[in-house]
Amino acid sequence: MAALLQSFGVASASVASSDHSIKLPAFSVHSLPVIRSEARLISSPILGTRKTGKVTTRAVAAKAENPASAASKPGHELLLFEALREGLEEEMDRDPRVCVMGEDVGHYGGSYKVTKGLAEKYGDLRVLDTPIAENSFTGMAIGAAMTGLRPIVEGMNMGFLLLAFNQISDNCGMLHYTSGGQFTIPTVIRGPGGVGRQLGAEHSQRLESYFQSIPGIQMVACSTPYNAKGLMKAAIRSENPVVLFEHVLLYNLKERIPDEEYVLSLEEAEMVRPGEHVTILTYSRMRYHVMQAAKTLVNKGYDPEVIDIRSLKPFDLYTIGNSVKKTHRVLIVEECMRTGGIGASLTAAINENFHDFLDAPIVCLSSQDVPTPYAGTLEEWTVVQPAQIVAAVEQLCQ
């Protein structure tokens, strides 16, 4: 397997990168300091309250503040899984039609504790433990949505939802159309996915590429506690079926979020770091690999613009397009597989809409088209690392 991976390079890319015979340093999201950002709130009657980041040049993440200074700031600190739970609980309080179903979501509190305490508060009918039967309980959720409820389906692992692919594709995505508009399917399908810590091939899948071609479904990926809560609330309120991707390695990220209620747009990207030289488009866990690389790039004199696309379907081409028109160079960084992945679709969309503004071919760094190995060292070789991002930007900006 090692020889196979080395023959492909560290991870798939559309341009040659640096010498892959050199082992890249391991990068761990858990080794990052607590992510901090200064922000202001903008009120909107349509989108609710949203935050625009204020980025400090030459700084990617700040060290954890002392308790006294942290306590003086408005809002409250939550881990990402707690932010998801808070958003879910607020919507269950607001709307009695909202219910949750899945394996161990009840008194156990979910495999990553997103639903902890909800069964005791709302009862077993609104927080329903199901058998190990993904196709069945996903179909049950779709039927519940047709009759007026607003169900949330939790997959213990997103890979398990492949067992429910027929329900998600043929029913969840298409029933509004095939019924002639008689039914809406306000369903949220959510759960952990992505490459974790030696979880093996079956538990390390990225299913964005599987679901993106299903008509009628929206897809979003959260990456911070702030947007996790805001996207959860927006997905629950949407009349469309929404797939919410959560990364298994991001659940313990901590951030201060507002005390007041806010709801984010399901179709809006986030400007993480303004810049002038190159547009870097990313999402989910790769946001942190990109920001790690951005620190190195800034020290080398580059000024990258980093956008967390968040909305995987549809793309926010307004935000993306404005950035392309400014920088004229695009690097896409994803954890999804290269063949048929989000990066491939994003590349096509940019070429179709903004080709005349590009000064160089779009570069896409993706995971390799191989099963994710169990061995930790091999696992790292299949996923894009910060050093590759630095090398790609340097080549793009030559």
Identify which of 100, 191, 193, 85 has the alpha carbon closest to the alpha carbon of residue 141. Answer: 100
DSSP E strands, the chain: 12-13, 38-44, 48-54, 76-79, 98-102, 127-129, 150-154, 188-193, 218-221, 242-247, 254-257, 270-273, 278-282, 304-308, 311-313, 330-337, 363-367
Angstrom distance (rounded) from CA 93 to CA 98: 9
Measured CA to CA, the distance from residue 295 to residue 256 in angstroms comes to: 22
**C-alpha dihedral (161, 166, 168, 171), degrees to nearest 10:** -160
Residues recognised as catalytic: 134, 203
DSSP 320: H
The whole-angstrom separation of Cα 262 and Cα 230 is: 6
Task: Name, in order, each residue with C-beta under 8 angstroms of 215's C-beta and a sequence gap of 6 or more.
Answer: 173, 174, 177
Residue 340, SS3? Answer: coil
For residue 138, the SS3 value is helix
Q: Quick check: 169 and 182 in contact, CB under 8 A?
A: no
d(CA 126, CA 397): 54
